[in-house]
Amino acid sequence: MAGCATGGGGKRGGVERRKFGATGMEVAVLGFGGAEIGYEQATPETVNQLLNAALDAGLNTIDTAECYRESEVLIGDAIAHRRRDFLLFTKCGHTAEAPAKGPDWTRDGVVKSVERSLARLRTDAVDLVLLHSCSLDELKKGECIAGLEDAKKQGKTRFIGYSGDGQAAKWAIESGRFDALETSINICDQQALNMTLPLARERNMGVIAKRPIANAVWRYDEKPTNAYHHEYFRRLQQLGYEFAAGDHRKELGPDGPAGIALRFTAMQPGVHVLIVGTTKPQRWSENAALLAAGPLDKKLYDSIRTRWFAIAGQDWVGQT
């Protein structure tokens, strides 16, 4: 059973809802990112609290992946009795059980990946399955796309998409074979704003913004230990945004760095849902309050874009 959120926008629980491209689905602009609960080994009790709090705050979209350790299992156990309350998105191609084997982008491998996700999520169908950052070469081979289309024809997913960045994302959009795109968009990662987002918007694709607050790297006084944060930390040092430097780093509310970063991503034309991961139930209402302040004023927004164009190097590509 898939989720049933459809409609034409508006607000529920204080969170804006947007039409997800041409799918007919209606998504809250804030979505639940499932990576953190997997990698941080959250307890079932914590995940239950998180999803209850998310629903109370007006969120209705969950984004996860098979390779996020036990994320799918935790989510499946938590929402099995209220599956229709959520739109459930997952990503395929990388296995959680045997990561040493690497991804499987064969036609049959993709279908089997989807089937494993359905079992782990305790559902007979999801609302969206995305190829999880396969390369441009794999996309061009076509087997992985054919596998995803097979899963759709078999009723295992309502819609299909591509999760990734740069030239691979551009090719995926232009192929016309996908309903949705998941890509990195934030104050430290703006390549998509010119390369792929306008194309996705022209084709009326649903767009999911991943890493929408640049991993909040302004929190760190020095290079973080987590390698996943290194590139954004390096970029932020060079971009030198005033709102994310010095004492401003500690400011809260919509005009602090988290509020500005979140609002920057949310106001991009063609973006429908921002995926944020957390293990803290109160984070949803806090983020909803940040977005309630609305888009950034033009002067601040333009300064962020201008700084990017002035500083970004050729190697500042979208971070997968």
- Domain limits, the chain: 10-311
Strand, coil or helix: what is 315?
coil
The pair of structure tokens assigned to 186 is 């934030």
Q: What is the CATH number of domain 10-311?
A: 3.20.20.100
Q: What share of the chain is helix, strand, coil (3-state, %, to 5)?
A: 45, 20, 35
Adjacent-strand bridge partners of 277: 33
Helix axes 143-153, 107-121, angle to 10 degrees: 50
Task: Report the alpha-carbon distance of residue 102 to residue 134 in Å, rounded.
Answer: 11
**pLDDT 10s digit of each residue in the chain, 320 long?**
566 555 456 666 579 999 999 999 999 999 999 999 999 999 999 999 999 889 888 999 999 999 998 999 999 999 998 899 999 999 999 876 655 567 899 999 999 999 999 999 999 999 999 999 999 999 999 999 999 999 999 999 999 999 999 999 999 999 999 999 999 999 999 999 999 999 999 999 999 999 999 999 999 999 999 999 999 999 999 999 999 999 999 999 999 999 999 999 999 999 999 999 999 988 888 999 999 999 999 999 999 999 999 999 999 999 98
pTM, two decimals, is 0.94
The amino acid at residue 236 is L
Strand, coil or helix: what is 285?
helix
Task: Report the alpha-carbon distance of residue 22 to residue 36 in Å, rounded.
Answer: 29
The confidence score (pLDDT) of residue 12 equals 61
Task: Give me the DSSP letters along 24-78.
Answer: -BEEESEEEE-HHHHHTT--HHHHHHHHHHHHHTT--EEE--TTSTTHHHHHHHH
